[in-house]
Amino acid sequence: MVTVEQLRPSTPTDAAVWDIAATVCDPEIPVLTIEDLGILRAAHVAETGRVEVTITPTYSGCPAMDAIRDDVTIALGGAGYDDVAVRLVLAPAWTTDWMSDDGKAKLEEYGIAPPTGTAAAGPVRVGLSVKCPQCSSLNTRELTRFGSTSCKALYVCSDCKEPFDYFKVH
């Protein structure tokens, strides 16, 4: 698994672009940056001065990608970069393994159960329980496989009776 630290460019000009793009928040989960989610994959300043940023959607067809692309362009434009290209790449496919530990903690603080475990590389393991982000109970059940967005499932806690989103592992 490649970490954010390994993806962040080492050259100062590229790292500066990365750092600006990394401040952009996900419009569906505003407590997470695109760096927290692991969808920021590359940042580079070409010899021509053109800034190139690469992002990967959490799901193909994710409706937030257009807003994220625009927000990255606006953030970089505000920092003085006039020629910006934001590329959307589908391969390799995004996985929750790319999320930062800080991002997972932010999800839980926000009231969304973060993904647990790692993405399947073979047979899919069946999750037995999801911890409630409100009361930490494991006495929860899935209400629907798709929650407020396609990357989340809707659960309910049988102890505190609160519904909550679970950010699915994939």
Q: Same structural domain for residues 9 and 92?
A: yes
Cβ neighbours of residue 170 closer than 8 Å, sequence gap 6 or more:
95, 96, 119, 151
Position 125 in a domain? yes
pLDDT at 148: 80
Residues 91 and 116 in one domain: no
The parent domain of residue 9 ranges over 4-96
From CA 44, how far away is CA 153, in angstroms rounded?
35
Would you say residue 122 lies in a domain?
yes
Residues 155-167 pLDDT 10s: 999 999 999 999 8
Q: Give 69-114 pLDDT, tens digit per residue.
A: 999 999 999 999 999 999 999 999 899 999 999 999 999 999 998 8
The total of structural domains in the chain comes to 2
The answer to whether the predicted template modeling score (pTM) of the entire model surpasses 0.85 is: no
Question: How crowded is residue 10: how many other Cβ atoms within 10 Å of its Cβ?
Answer: 7
10 and 87 both lie in a single domain: yes
On whether residue 59 sits in a domain, the answer given is: yes
* CATH number, residue 32: 3.30.300.130
- Quick check: is 101 in a domain? no
Q: Which of 64, 96, 128 delimits the end of a domain?
A: 96
**Is residue 107 a part of any domain in this protein?**
no
Structure-token pair, residue 98: 């790319």
Boundary of a domain, candidates 49, 72, 96: 96
Query: Per the domain annotation, does 103 fall within a domain?
Result: no
Of 96, 126, 153, the position where a domain reaches its end is 96
* Residues 92 and 120 grouped into a single domain: no
Strand ranges (DSSP E) for the chain? 40-45, 51-55, 84-88, 112-113, 140-144, 152-157, 163-167
Return the pLDDT at 77.
97
pLDDT for 128 equals 66
